[in-house]
Structure 1
Amino acid sequence: MDMEQEELQFLGFFGICKEAIVITFRHSKIFIKLTLTLILPLSIIFLAHDGFSTFLSQKIITNEDTLDTTQLGTPAFNDKSNKISYELTALWLIKLVYLLISLVFSLLSTSAVVYTVACIYTAKDISYKKVMSIVPKVWMKVMVTFLWSLGIIFTYNLISGITLITLLILFWNNKHNDISSTGLVTILIVFVLYLIGFVYTSVIWQLACVISVMENSYGIQAMVKSKTLIKGKIGISFAIFLVFFLCFLGIEHTFERAEVINKASIGIGVLCLVGLTLFFLFGLIIQTIFYFVCKSYHHQNIDKSSLADHLETYRGEYVPLTANNLEMEQFKV
């Protein structure tokens, strides 16, 4: 990045996207290799899971409809029932394998791209071989942060779900078998607040993954630092999340509508694959640049030599990092 650190704080959403495009094209060779190795397989896994899950779900629904009209205890009924059980087992196995493999590739992709952008920022010599040798060590910290984030999001969803169900019970009118107007408005407000809180938590988690690579903190410490960093930049962080979330939904919806497995709409499938791959790549680069923007906004100058030394620690054996590996300096505006 050619911009001075003091100038990064003034980058808005489009400025961050532009900077991400510039970095990608200037260092296209290494990003292409990382994309083909890590991000493309992640995209293939996602679309394959989405396609097969949709295909099996439709078959299960069709078979269940047929089962409803089949006489109980007949050979046809037993055959169809066994077929549904087999398809349900296959569906859950596919989902389990997908979750495990996608988690590994997602964390590896995050570690690789964030580490690469950090090396570009410090003007360090970077190569594909070097990144791939370091990624497994960086991945360990990102995984700890992810697990903490997963636990926090699960707890948040659980509490929110219980709250919404409680409100539904309290405002349910048994006499008219519906919800009162006051109750409906209250539940709607709580649900909107839940969505805002969910996006906020997701934004903190994404930035915490970047912090886990850039600094000595990971896990809950990275989450706390992330929460502090996004203050003053919440609007941009929400914009990044929502734009990419909508793009993600658009790609997924297009792929499902194309019914690639049933109709062999290979062209649309390939376009969705390319779009999703670019989406993952630019999302990670933008999130990393956003980290530098937040640092600049809070007047925390990252000393490039200290950051370079911190990145070099990944080349040795993985050991607990100390607070002296990365020094934060204050600069005057």
Structure 2
Amino acid sequence: MDSTEEDMKLVGFFGIFKHSFKTIFSWNKIFVQITLTLILPLTVVYLAHTEISDLFFWRMEDNSSPSDSNNQNTTVTDWLYYWLFNILYFTLITVFSLLSTATVVFTVASVYSDRDVVFRQVMKIVPQVWKKLLLTFVFIYITLFIYNVMNDVVTFISRSVFGYSIYGTVIILILYVLGLLYLTVVWQLASVVTVLENIRGFNAMKKGKMLVNGKKIVGMGIAFVLYGILLGLITVYQLFVEFGDEISGLATIWRVLIGILCVILLTMLFLLFIVMQTVLYLVCKSYHREAVDKLGLLTFLSAYMAETVVYGEEIQLGKPQPPAEQV
């Protein structure tokens, strides 16, 4: 990533894709290591949740007969197992998302600052950032919960006042998707801010909201494309792998091959998600004239590795950097 700060300010929709792919292919060795170690397990957990959730629902539907007390007891037990499984899934998906975000963001920032980086060094930053990144994730989950509750309330009020209407439903759905895309961009930027700046939690989300101003359409367009691809891959997986024998009548060997292909593509997509959100962060910082000079960023990244001792205030990208002494 050899663009200057002035060049980054002018990068648009296609430019962010170009920079992201160039970064991945130029540093393919370390990105492959991160992908196999952290992002591939994230993909497996994500798909396993889809498979097992469907199995639970099919089983609970079969045992939902109100006349059989044994079936009712079985259903209660199944619901207990289902929620325990979701707690486990939620924990694993958070852990692998946190680790993937921290390592990929650090790697992309290292590439931007012309810093040599190896996989062993990248993994060393995890103990430095996981707590503050987890706090940001908690605020993201809370915001998502509040947003969904508000959407349910608006939908309920709309149907109570105007009745059920296909046009009203479509309008509410479009507004919900647009709002979700905007929040997604804010959340992505907040995650990068947490890793690359001394901000976390709610303040990181406020900073993400500020950064996206001026690049809102670009960010939402990127999120729309990536989530569209994600939805397409999940649909293919469910049609041809999960329910392949019932819907499409595919032989087992073809279902296995398509399943492997879906896992590979989803893993690459998750990597692209994080790389692009980091590139978008650099573009937004440059757009708002917040200095992300390579020397200051290099100093910040070196502090993670204990290669730099920083005196006075902590390093804050976009502000004058305190003097650093090499150790």
* TM-score grouping bracket, smaller chain normalisation: 0.7 to 0.9
Residues 113 and 58 from structure 1, CA distance in 2 versus in 1: closer, same or farther, beyond 3 angstroms? same
Q: Counterparts in 2 of 1:288-299, with a 5 A limit? A: 288-299=278-289
**Closer/same/farther in 2, CA of residues 312 and 49 from structure 1, 3 Å limit:** same
For residues 180 and 129 of structure 2, the distance between their equivalents in structure 1, rounded to whole angstroms, comes to: 27
Q: Find the counterpart in structure 2 of residue 266 from structure 1.
A: 256
User: What aligned pairs does 1:117-196 form with structure 2 within 5 A after superposition?
Assistant: 117-172=108-163, 179=164, 189-196=171-178
Give the C-alpha shift of residue 83 in structure 1: 3.8
| Residues 109, 122 of structure 1: alpha-carbon distance in 2 compared, 3 angstrom cutoff | same
Q: Does 1:235 align with 2:217?
A: yes
How far apart, in 1, do the equivalents of 2:223 and 2:182 lie?
Answer: 9
Aligned length: 309
Corresponding residue of 2:6? 6
CA contact (8 A) 2:136 2:194 kept: yes
Q: Specify whether residues 187 and 86 from structure 1 end up closer, same or farther in structure 2 by C-alpha distance, changes over 3 A only.
A: closer
Deviation at 1:125, TM superposition (A): 2.0
In the aligned structure 2, how far is the partner of 1:137 from the partner of 1:230? 26
Q: Secondary structure at the match of 2:125?
A: helix
Equivalent residue for 2:323?
A: none
Q: Work out whether residues 255 and 268 of structure 1, in 8 Å CA contact, stay in contact via their aligned partners in 2.
A: yes
Q: 1:247 to 1:324 in 2, by over 3 A?
A: same
CA distance in 2, matches of 1:165, 1:132: 47
Deviations 1:154-183 (CA, angstroms, capped at 9, x unpaired):
2232233223322322334xxxxxx5x7xx
Matched to 1:112, the amino acid is: T
- Give deviations 1:237-277, integer Å, cap 9, x for gaps: 01111111111111111111124488542111101100110
Tell me the equivalent position of 2:315. 325
Displacement of 1:288: 0.5
Contact 1:55–1:261 (8 Å) recurs in 2: no
Identical-residue share of aligned pairs (%): 35
Answer yes or no: is the 8 Å Cα contact 1:45–1:102 preserved in 2.
Answer: yes
The partner residue of 1:208 within 162, 185, 190 is 190
Residue equivalent to 2:231 = 249
Write the distance in 2 (CA, Å) between the matches of 1:111 and 1:98. Answer: 20
Distance in 2 (alpha carbons) for counterparts of 1:323 and 1:191: 46
SS at 1:300 equivalent? coil
1:126-165 C-alpha deviation (Å, 9 max, x unpaired): 1111111112322222111111222222223223322332
RMSD: 2.5
Which blocks of at least 5 consecutive residues in structure 2 are unaligned? 246-251, 321-327
Give the CA deviation at 1:291.
0.8
**What letter is aligned with 1:276?**
L
CA distance in 2, matches of 1:109, 1:24: 14
Using the TM superposition, give the Cα deviation of residue 284 of structure 1 relative to its aligned residue in structure 2, in angstroms.
0.5
User: What's the TM-score, normalizing by structure 1?
Assistant: 0.84
Q: How much does 1:42 deviate?
A: 0.4
TM (norm. structure 2) is 0.86
Equivalent position SS for 2:22: helix
CA contact (8 A) 2:241 2:256 kept: no
Q: Match of 2:266?
A: 276
Unaligned runs of 5+ in 1: 173-178
Q: What are the superposed Cα offsets for residues 302-333 of structure 1, whole Å, 9 maximum, x if unpaired?
A: 122222222223235xxxx9855135269xxx
Partner of 2:85: 94
**CA distance in 1: counterparts of 2:161 and 2:98, whole angstroms:** 42
**2:108 match: secondary structure:** helix
**Residue of structure 1 in register with 2:249 after alignment:** none
- Letter matched to residue 285 of structure 1: V
| 1:51–1:261 Cα contact (<8 Å) kept | no
Amino acid aligned to 1:3:
S
One-letter amino acid of the counterpart of residue 186, structure 2: I
d(CA) in 2 for partners of 1:326, 1:310:
8
- State the one-letter code of the partner of 1:219: G
**Contact kept? 2:241, 2:258, Cα under 8 Å:** no
